[in-house]
Amino acid sequence: MSNTTKLFINPAGGYILETTQGNFLITDSFVQETDIPTSSLDDAPFDISVQSTIDNAMENTKKALSESFIEGLQLLIQEKIEDLDTNE
Helix (H, G, I), strand (E, B), or coil: what is residue 18? strand
- pTM for this model (two decimals): 0.67
Calpha distance 43→39 (Å, rounded): 10
pLDDT digits (tens, 9 = 90+) for 55-73: 898 888 777 767 777 777 7
Identify which of 50, 53, 38 has the alpha carbon closest to the alpha carbon of residue 8: 38
pLDDT digits (tens, 9 = 90+) for 30-59: 888 999 999 999 999 878 888 899 889 888
